[in-house]
Amino acid sequence: MTNVIKNNIPNTVTCLNLFSGCIACVMAFEANYNLALAFIILSAVFDFFDGMMARLLNAHSPIGKDLDSLADDVSFGVAPSLIVFSLFKEMHYPASMEFIAPYLPYLAFLISVFSALRLAKFNNDTRQTSSFVGLPVPANALFWGSLVAGAHDFLISDNCHPVYLLILVCLFSGLLVSEIPMFSLKFKNLSWNDNKISFIFLIICIPLLIFLGISSFAAIIVWYILLSLFTRKSK
């Protein structure tokens, strides 16, 4: 009985990730972007702890791996897609685009599709044990949630063209399945030499969090991508 409970603790945490992600989807569909972001962040917390619990309890299982991917695609694939879908519905469309205005929002679900492809790729890619190849899905979800919640007024103004948002959707969808190496924040020790990139990343994150408020997560993800690109070129 004790083993049964122990083995199901990580899966329970994964289910909490999924539950939180479902609420994020509802909030996104209702255009309540602040709450959608809050529940995406909560899902990310559960996603972090389910893996930690599985390692600590030695409770790895094929079911847990599949459940984790399914939960992640809802929380970090469908939820940000619905955020962008709702945003597209609110945006100002010039007269030349009015004929496609009812259909353009559905392209937001490219995020869901490429998130699923990213997760399938991650599950079968032995290179991604200590670092990542392509943008992780939680990072992508945090980017969209933070961007829309923090810059909503600008995004629905006349100054923001829907095509700009579509280009951003395509760009980040491509980053999900790209072959760009991206560093992980897994610390084996606290040595500067062994974790220099992670320390530099975290140091710059502090002023971003202080000065940008709710938009800081979007800025941090952009900083993460740029630092990954820079450190890749410098090798």
Residue 8: per-residue pLDDT: 76
| pLDDT of the residue at 5 | 67
Nearest alpha-carbon partner for 85 in 100, 105, 65, 103: 105
Torsion of CA 226, 143, 179, 120, to 10 degrees: 160
Tell me 132's DSSP state.
E
What pLDDT score was predicted for residue 4?
59
Per the structure block, which two tokens stand in for 59? 């409770």
Averages of pLDDT over runs of 10 residues in the chain (235 residues) are 68 93 97 97 92 73 83 97 98 91 96 95 72 92 97 94 96 95 78 82 94 94 94 59
**Which pLDDT score is estimated for 50?**
81
Nearest alpha carbon to residue 182 among 124, 214, 140: 140
Q: Taking the model in full, what pTM does it have? A: 0.91
DSSP assigned state of 109 = G
CA atoms within 13 A on the CB side of 14: 24
Round to the nearest angstrom and report the end-to-end CA distance of the chain. Answer: 51
Alpha helices in the chain (DSSP H): 2-29, 33-57, 62-73, 79-90, 110-123, 137-150, 152-155, 162-176, 196-212, 216-233
The CATH architecture of the domain made up of 2-183 is: Up-down Bundle (1.20)
pLDDT of residue 235: 41
